[in-house]
């Protein structure tokens, strides 16, 4: 089955710790994205990558880092510099940049 997987579904961390969220796709898509959702807000773009070994900051990249070493993988690290890391994180991919996007199931991160 083709699709996007994110793991884990729920993640709990102590403040001050870095944490990495996984995103894998087997759709052979060139572009991948990370979004964050907070209550009462629209999805906000954190980082995106249109090709392997290249990525761009979205609107709220501060406190996050990404890598794109393989076409199918786009992990997101939430660093201790991110002031409000507790949120729902969605990964997506598309055939080309900003085409129709396919979303993963999301990871809910809670930092206490």
Partner 1 sequence: ILNVEQSPQSLHVQEGDSTNFTCSFPSSNFYALHWYRWETAKSPEALFVMTLNGDEKKKGRISATLNTKEGYSYLYIKGSQPEDSATYLCAFNRDDKIIFGKGTRLHILP
What residues make contact with partner 1 under the rule CB under 8 A? 4, 33, 35, 40-45, 56, 59, 90, 92, 97-106
At its nearest, how many Å lie between partner 1 and the CB of residue 42? 4
Is the Cβ of residue 3 or residue 81 nearer to partner 1 in the bound state?
Answer: 3
Query: What is the 8-class DSSP label of residue 85?
Result: -
At its nearest, how many Å lie between partner 1 and the CB of residue 71? 19
Is the Cβ of residue 55 or residue 111 nearer to partner 1 in the bound state?
Answer: 55
90: closest CA among 58, 62, 50? 58
Give the contacts of 92 (CB within 8 A, at least 6 positions apart): 4, 32, 33, 35, 101, 102, 103, 104
CB count within 10 Å of CB 80 equals: 15
At its nearest, how many Å lie between partner 1 and the CB of residue 21? 15
Q: Rounded to the nearest 5°, which phi and psi values hold at 80? A: -70, -10
């Amino acid at each position: 089955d083709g699709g996007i997987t994110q793991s884990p579904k729920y993640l709990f961390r102590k403040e001050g710790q870095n944490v990495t969220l996984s995103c894998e796709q087997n759709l052979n898509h060139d572009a991948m994205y990370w979004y964050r959702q907070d209550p009462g807000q629209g999805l906000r773009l954190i980082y995106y990558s249109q090709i392997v070994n290249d990525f761009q900051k979205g609107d709220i990249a501060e406190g996050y880092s990404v890598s794109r070493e393989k076409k199918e993988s786009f992990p997101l690290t939430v660093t201790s510099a991110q002031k409000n890391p507790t949120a729902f994180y969605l990964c997506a991919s598309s055939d080309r940049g900003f085409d129709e996007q396919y979303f993963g199931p999301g990871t809910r991160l809670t930092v206490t």
